[in-house]
């Protein structure tokens, strides 16, 4: 009898706890209905494990203390447009009226106005990016700031580490930050210790510590996915590339990793400096906001055209839906041509609809994905969206020359968005990301040419081939996509 009563009590307790967690999931702010439904199903259908999964992964939180510290740091950092001498930099002067609304969306996210007077170039490949980066670090006179999601102790990763050691040796202040999960191999290597011994100031972004205790303080899978390099407050890099060889030893079977990174020179560096400072000061007791109070560096007097650009930083402590709003605004603005490359495509309903509507109104809409994805879950989910995209007239290509990792969007041959953000829910809702939006027909043409090169090494996805997929494959793809809001 006692055992029966205990069993009934346990069942009642479980259902009460299950109901409480379901109510919590329904009451969480900033969550789309599909995500709520998905979590309710998981909690109700999988006893105990569903509750544990929700408590560990169901809410976007890096921990109350970290959120408070991050917001406190950001609240006191001066905006680049408020810096002394900012009047010399023309904010958005090169942007025509038809595109200014794009930059207004960007300004609503990070608070940065589009800033003019910049020059930029697109290095040929990943190794060329590292060559340029090392040369810039070797020429640094005051400071070098670096942040990467993945920093590997391979050839390119060690070249950058050695450049920082050389810079620190000649008195340049070097600060380097790497995500504690993505860069764990470098952080636990002798190269990290060598940098510390040489005077490079180091920090681990979102440190994990004890995984069990870390889970109690906030989600362990919320990561700093940014790629930021700032040198002497006048040079910055932005794009998809991690600090590693294209061979990418930790996932060599998908290599080479195919990335694009733009080197900017001009006032736009101050905006990336602001993003770096916010991340750095949220982790390290090292107040560097004085760097943001310095006059903006004088605009280059070199001959040649200049461009307007704007940094956009998003993450779990930035307003909800920021990056998807930026993407969707760009998609709806397209009038002639829209080309997007991304390795991970798991959109929400509004973004999928935006792309379909873009093609239906006569815009040549092209998506380029990798043929082999390092995430089999994302690959399956991505392909579940193919039928509707193709039916709307979207051109889909799958790159076969390695893992296409470039995250780029070109619009009507004039505007480009490049950076770390993928078109998936992880980049939109969970990770810290950084992109740069710029108006420059010449540099956009260079990026568009790079996209054409990707397409030339891709196979087109044909509607008849997708229709021929077996029911088992379609069932698998669609089932994984249903779990997208959870994953």
Q: Which residues are catalytic?
A: 225, 227, 232, 405, 407, 412
Measured distance CA(72)–CA(359) in Å, rounded = 43
Record the tokens describing residue 170, joined without a space: 């000649």
Q: How many residues does the chain have?
A: 487
Measured distance CA(313)–CA(436) in Å, rounded = 9
The 3-state DSSP class for residue 44 equals helix
Q: Beta partners for 151?
A: 243
Measuring CA to CA, which residue among 413, 456, 100, 145 is closest to residue 278?
145
- Exposed, middle or buried: residue 386 (CB in 10 Å: 0-12, 13-18, 19+)? buried
The 3-state DSSP class for residue 345 equals strand
Measured distance CA(227)–CA(134) in Å, rounded = 15
Measured distance CA(91)–CA(266) in Å, rounded = 13
Report the chain's terminal Cα–Cα distance, integer Å.
43
- Contacts for 281 with CB less than 8 Å, ≥ 6 apart: 73, 287, 288, 289
In angstroms, the Cα distances linking 96 to 102, 155, 417 are 11, 43, 16
The 3-state DSSP class for residue 469 equals coil
Measured distance CA(442)–CA(438) in Å, rounded = 11
Measuring CA to CA, which residue among 419, 444, 445, 447 is closest to residue 433?
419
DSSP at 364: E
User: Is the peptide bond between 230 and the residue preceding it cis, with omega within 30 degrees of 0?
Assistant: no
Pairing outcome for strands 345-346 and 423-424? parallel
The number of helices, as runs of H, and strands, as runs of E, in the chain is 19, 19
- Exposed, middle or buried: residue 199 (CB in 10 Å: 0-12, 13-18, 19+)? middle
* CA count, 13 A, side-chain hemisphere, 158: 8
Record the tokens describing residue 242, joined without a space: 């991690």
């Amino acid at each position: 009898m006692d055992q029966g009563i205990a069993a009934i009590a346990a069942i009642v307790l479980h259902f009460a706890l299950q109901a409480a967690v379901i109510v919590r999931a329904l009451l969480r702010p900033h969550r789309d209905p599909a995500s709520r439904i998905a979590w309710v199903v998981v909690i109700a259908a999988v006893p105990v494990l569903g509750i544990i999964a929700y408590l560990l992964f169901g809410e976007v939180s890096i921990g109350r203390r970290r959120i408070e510290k991050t917001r406190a740091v950001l609240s006191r950092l001066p905006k680049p447009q408020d810096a002394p001498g900012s009047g010399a930099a023309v904010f958005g002067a090169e942007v025509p009226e038809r595109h200014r609304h794009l930059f207004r969306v960007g300004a609503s996210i990070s608070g940065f106005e589009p800033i003019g007077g910049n020059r930029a170039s697109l290095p040929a490949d990943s190794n060329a990016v590292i060559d340029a980066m090392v040369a810039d670090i070797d020429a640094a006179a005051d400071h070098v700031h670096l942040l990467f999601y993945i920093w590997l102790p391979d050839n390119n990763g060690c070249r950058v580490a050695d450049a920082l050691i050389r810079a620190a040796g000649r008195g340049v202040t070097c600060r380097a930050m790497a995500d504690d999960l993505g860069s764990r191999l470098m952080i636990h290597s002798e190269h990290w210790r060598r940098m510390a011994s040489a005077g490079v100031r180091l920090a681990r972004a979102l440190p994990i510590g004890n995984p069990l205790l870390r889970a109690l303080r906030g989600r362990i899978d919320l990561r700093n996915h940014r790629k930021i390099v700032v040198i002497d407050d006048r040079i910055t890099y932005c794009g998809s590339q991690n600090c590693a060889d294209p061979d990418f030893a930790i996932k060599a079977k998908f290599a080479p990793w195919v990335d694009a990174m733009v080197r900017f020179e001009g006032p736009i560096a101050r905006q990336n400096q602001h993003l770096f400072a916010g991340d750095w000061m949220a982790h390290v007791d090292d107040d560097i906001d004085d760097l943001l109070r310095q006059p903006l560096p004088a605009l280059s007097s070199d001959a040649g055209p200049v461009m307007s650009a704007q940094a956009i930083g998003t993450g779990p402590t930035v307003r909800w839906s920021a990056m998807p709003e930026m993407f969707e605004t760009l998609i709806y603005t397209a009038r002639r041509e829209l080309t997007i490359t991304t390795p991970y495509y798991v959109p929400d309903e509004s973004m999928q609809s935006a792309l379909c509507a873009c093609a239906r109104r006569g815009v040549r809409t092209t998506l380029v994905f990798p043929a082999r994805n390092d995430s089999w879950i994302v690959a399956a989910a991505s392909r579940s969206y193919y039928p509707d995209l193709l039916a709307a007239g979207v051109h889909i290509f799958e790159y076969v020359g390695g893992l296409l990792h470039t995250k780029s969007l070109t619009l009507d041959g004039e505007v480009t968005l490049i950076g770390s953000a993928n078109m998936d829910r992880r980049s939109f809702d969970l990770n810290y990301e950084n992109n740069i939006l710029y108006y420059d027909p010449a540099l956009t043409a260079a990026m568009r040419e790079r996209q054409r090169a990707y397409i030339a090494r891709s196979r087109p996805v044909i509607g008849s081939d997708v229709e021929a997929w077996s029911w088992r494959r379609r069932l698998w793809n669609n089932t994984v996509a249903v779990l997208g809001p959870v994953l």
